[in-house]
Amino acid sequence: MSVDRSDWVDYAKGLGIILVVYAHVVRGLVSAGFDVPSVLSSVVDSIVYSFHMPLFFFLSGLFFIDSLKRRSLDGMLFSKLDTIIYPYIVWSLFQGGIEVILSTYTNGHVTFAEVLTLWEPRAQFWFLYALFLIFLVWSVIYAYLSSKYTILIFSFASFLYLVQSWFDGVYWLSVLVKNSVFFMFGVVFREYNLYQYLSSRVGLVCLTLAFVSGQYLFHFHYGYTHTDKGISLLVLALVSISFTVSFLIRFRSRLLAYIGGASMAIYLMHILAGSGVRVILNKFFIVDELSVHIVVGTLAGIILPLIALKVIGFLKIPY
């Protein structure tokens, strides 16, 4: 059975971006001084962060080999300049500029000098920075190696993840080794058609048990959090990704697919939307009810970028 990009992949992107927006809304409330229960600010936050960004790297790796074969090395890298570096620069400057101007009303104290240091990504833009590096490095490697070495390369990426502390002093190397293993898991998933194993009911049951028990043991039994890097977190992330895929294979939602199809736009704009709504609710409407902020902030972080995307598309503005 082949992987249908328009089906579960978009669902996974949709679920992933909802988790991203929610997590950033809650973290923004914590930074703003709201009394957020520890179950949300610590436990739920750590569960989400244990796999939601690895999920996006995994999804990026799914069609990597196919794209490289179709476009060649030069074509692949030029396409990523357009789809990753261009929005990285534009939105880093745009969001950063707004943060500087409105710093009186927000949690941050950003300077224009910080905004202009694009080689040191800020806020959510670290993902685009890391993703381009991953595409750059592995595109070059795969240009000279056959895809038959995929398992070996995945094993090497896993090793780098486990010794990531060796690279803490060099930012670009650090983000590369922390996230390449999940990208390569996507490559392995596609090359070895792991879809067939995850699409069975037995697979879903086993992965559900593994996900629930794994998250429980990691967070409650051992008391770890997503900042405790190591083999336990790596295994938990891979299990969580696999469970997500297995669950979404059976899921049907045009809305979630639509959100997933717009996940890049939402990712680029959700901080401005979510934090803007928080400031308006708190400063102008004097709303301090936590549940209202979480629900409205999350909805705004998704819906406002979707509206903006429609306007941008109508005006034919490259974003």
Dihedral of alpha carbons 268, 274, 279, 284, sign: positive
SS3 170: coil
In angstroms, the first-to-last Cα distance of the chain is 35
Quick one: CA dihedral 265, 268, 270, 273, positive or negative? negative
The residue ranges of every structural domain in the chain are: 5-315
Phi, psi (deg, nearest 5) at residue 194: -70, -15
pLDDT of residue 3: 45
By the 8 A CB rule, do 68 and 78 touch?
A: no
CA-closest candidate to residue 235, choices 219, 211, 216: 211
> Maximum Cα–Cα distance for the chain, whole Å?
60
Specify the pTM. 0.94
The residue whose two tokens read 């083999």 is: 231
User: What distance in Å separates the CA atoms of residue 287 and residue 299, rounded to the nearest whole number?
Assistant: 16
Q: Judge whether 14 and 260 are in contact, CB under 8 Å.
A: yes
For residues 41 and 38, give the distance between their C-alpha atoms in angstroms, rounded to a whole number: 5
Q: State the sign of the Cα–Cα–Cα–Cα dihedral 61, 246, 257, 179.
A: negative
Query: How far is the CA of 227 from the CAs of 47, 57, 109, 263, 318, in angstroms?
Result: 11, 18, 25, 25, 36
* Alpha-carbon distances of 283 from 68, 144, 292, rounded to whole Å: 50, 57, 14
User: What tokens were used for 238?
Assistant: 């891979």
Going through the chain in order, the beta strands assigned E by DSSP cover none
- Each of the 319 residues of the chain gets a pLDDT tens digit; together they read 344 545 899 999 999 999 999 999 999 999 999 999 999 999 999 999 999 999 999 999 999 999 998 888 889 899 999 999 999 999 999 999 998 888 766 666 788 888 999 999 999 999 999 999 999 999 999 988 888 899 999 999 999 999 999 999 999 999 999 999 999 999 999 999 998 889 889 999 999 999 999 999 999 999 999 999 999 999 999 999 999 999 999 888 999 999 999 999 999 999 999 999 999 998 889 889 999 999 999 999 999 999 999 999 888 887 7
Q: How far is CA 232 from CA 58, 166, 210, 227, in A?
A: 18, 18, 13, 11
Residues near 270 by beta carbon (within 8 Å), at least 6 away in sequence: 17, 20, 21, 24, 124, 301, 302, 305
